[in-house]
A = this chain, B = another copy of it.
């Protein structure tokens, strides 16, 4: 029984800043530079969700991609798209709005949901710009 990895890309556009509320404004600028701009900046994020499993003989698919897309939208995109990551997103509350933390938090939102469909979440990759992306494999 072959194990195949299927990946679905979704996108979200969000505002954020790198800002540690326990630090002074000066320290925030010193550490994060322009990423700490008080009035925020933002990105077109790309989210790649990879699920691992064995193709169903009747469908040829590991998971219905319409379902996978719907799950990602319901549990992640609707809460973060056209939002402020620092202020508006429940699953990022109390955390630094870094790409690394986004990948870990989105794993947390999707792992159980995908397990309930009989599949295994393999990887969450978050691309912040054409030059930067983070990946989390659940370990």
Contact = CB atoms under 8 A, between A and B. Distances in A.
A91 interface: no
Interface residues of A, number: 65
Interface in A1-47: 2-11, 13-16, 18, 20, 22-23, 31-35, 37, 39-44
Instruction: Identify the 4 closest CB pairs spanning chains A and B, nearest first.
Output: A42-B42, A60-B96, A60-B98, A39-B84
Nearest to A131: B9
Interface in A83-118: 83-84, 87-88, 95-101, 103-104
Given A43-B44, A55-B101, A136 B14 contact: no
Main SS class of interface, A = mixed
Given A60-B97, A95-B60, A100-B60, A134 B42 contact: no
Given A31-B64, A35-B82, A41-B82, 20 more contacts: A2-B139, A3-B137, A5-B135, A6-B134, A6-B135, A7-B134, A9-B131, A13-B43, A20-B59, A22-B58, A32-B59, A37-B84, A40-B42, A41-B81, A42-B43, A60-B95, A60-B98, A61-B98, A61-B100, A65-B132
